[in-house]
Each structure stands twice: as structure tokens, then as C-alpha cells.
Structure 1
Amino acid sequence: MADNENPTVLLESNDGFQFIVRKSAAMKSSAIKGMLNKRNNFTEAIENRIVFQNMSGAILEKVCQYFYHYEKYKGSKEEIPEPDFITPELALELLFISDFLDC
């Protein structure tokens, strides 16, 4: 990582909630990885900010929690615990979002 590159990214929901997330965690998503690739010359990479027009703050919060859960256990040899922050009420919507984000 270049010295002047920010190690975090701002993720914003369609209802205005903002989450500052480590890029190392957010890069779990192929979609986010592509948006932040400077070679693609997307506005998101230039501004270091991604606004998700299709995601509420409640859902984006769970996505961010999942990124950190994944990063915490990545490469672990022990059994990875199921995320306890995913409620049945949000499970279907999170499934659709995970497909969109490719994570």
C-alpha cells in the first residue's frame, strides 16, 4: 500500500448511515474491490467512498460486521463460529446483498 493511500473506506447506505471500514476487510467483496481499484478510474476509488443506493443502514451494518467476522477468522485452522449478528428477519435480504457484493 502506498504511503498516501488511506487504509479505510467510507461505506454509506441509502438512508445516510456511514461506516468507516478497513479496506482489508471490505476487500472481501469482489464488487467493492473493483470499485476501489484506481486503475478502473471509478469515482468511488477517487473519493474513497461508496454509496449503496440499494442498501439500508441496518443491512450495511450487518455487511460490515460480516467483513470483520470474515477477516478475524480468515486462515484460521479452528472451526469458524457462525455469525451471531445475522437475524432471521434480515437473512433473505442479506443473501441478495451478498450475491450483489460477491462475498
Structure 2
Amino acid sequence: MTKEETVKLISSEGFEFVIDKKAAMVSQLLRNMLSSPGSFTETADGVVNFPDISTTILEKICQYFYWSLQFSSGKETEFHIEPELTLELMMAANYLDT
């Protein structure tokens, strides 16, 4: 996989998640950031920092991106969310327009 096919998402604690660009495009916010015609750093570097999203929540969001791709291709499985993560996860999902 080439650098152009991946995106690096960085949590508030500095943990880096390298995911497929196709998976990241599940988020409307990331789609806009990564494919804008302007000269944005995110578009050029493929790196997005999330200073307000914890590592635990960002990891779950990345898992959701991949699950969403599988679900849209016809593979129906459940996506489990731990109850203690629900509120934080909903706020992050709202921010990411996911």
C-alpha cells in the first residue's frame, strides 16, 4: 500500500492510526479535508490531527470506518460499542460527520 492510499489519524495523546484512504472517506469531514482543491496540509500530507479525540475513541472510529465499508458491500455484521464509550463516541462521530 502506498502513502497516497493511506491516511494517518493522530489522537490527542499522539497515537497514530494509519488506515486506508477509502476507509477514511466514510467520514464526510475527512473526505472534505483530504480531497479539497486548496493547498491544505491534510490534503498534501494525508495526516490529520485530532487534539480533542482520545486514542480509545479514535481507535473505535477507525474500526467503524472498516465495518461501514464491509456493511455497505453487503456483509451484515454487528458493530459492538461499549456502553461507557457511547457518549464520547457519539460526539466524535457527530464532529466527523460519520
TM-score by length of 2: 0.91
- How big is each residue's C-alpha offset from its partner over 1:25-67, in whole Å with a ceiling of 9 and x where there is no partner? 1100010011101403211111110000110111100000000
Which structure 1 residue ranges, 4+ long, deviate > 2 Å from structure 2?
none
User: SS where residue 41 of structure 1 aligns?
Assistant: coil
User: SS where residue 9 of structure 2 aligns?
Assistant: strand
Instruction: Indicate the percent of aligned positions where both proteins have the same amino acid.
Output: 39
How many matched pairs? 97
Match of 2:28 in 1: 30
Q: List gaps (5 residues or longer) in structure 1.
A: none
**Within-5 A mapping of 1:1-103:** 6-76=4-74, 80-84=76-80, 86-103=81-98
Aligned equivalents of 2:95 and 2:30: distance in 1? 10
Aligned equivalents of 1:67 and 1:50: distance in 2? 15
Letter in 2 for 1:15: E
TM-score by length of 1: 0.87
Higher helix share: 2
